[in-house]
Amino acid sequence: MSYGVTIFITVVGTLLSLILSAMMAHPLSTGRLKLGNTINFLVYFTTLFGAGLVPSCLLISK
């Protein structure tokens, strides 16, 4: 049962991520979006600082 849940979560998460990324990429690439620069910054900023980066640095520094 747990393998089935894991495979389902992986497949659905991958498909959803792919669809949302494609839907976001087209308006951002055309340049006609009003908040395009802000959205680009937020997407880029979150890729620089992943969710586990800060706790890992705190753990290593102690």
Task: Determine the Cα–Cα distance for residues 29 and 21; give it in Å rounded to an integer.
Answer: 12
pTM summary value = 0.59
Confidence (pLDDT) at 2: 92
Tens digit of each residue's pLDDT (9 = 90 or more) over 11-31: 999 999 999 989 988 888 888
- Report CA 38 to chain centroid distance, whole Å: 15
Question: What's the pLDDT at 15?
Answer: 98
Q: What is the structure's pLDDT at 42?
A: 86
pLDDT for position 16 = 97
48-52 mean pLDDT: 72
Residue 50's region, left for phi above 0, alpha for psi from -120 to 50, else beta, is beta
Structure tokens at 25: 């990429």
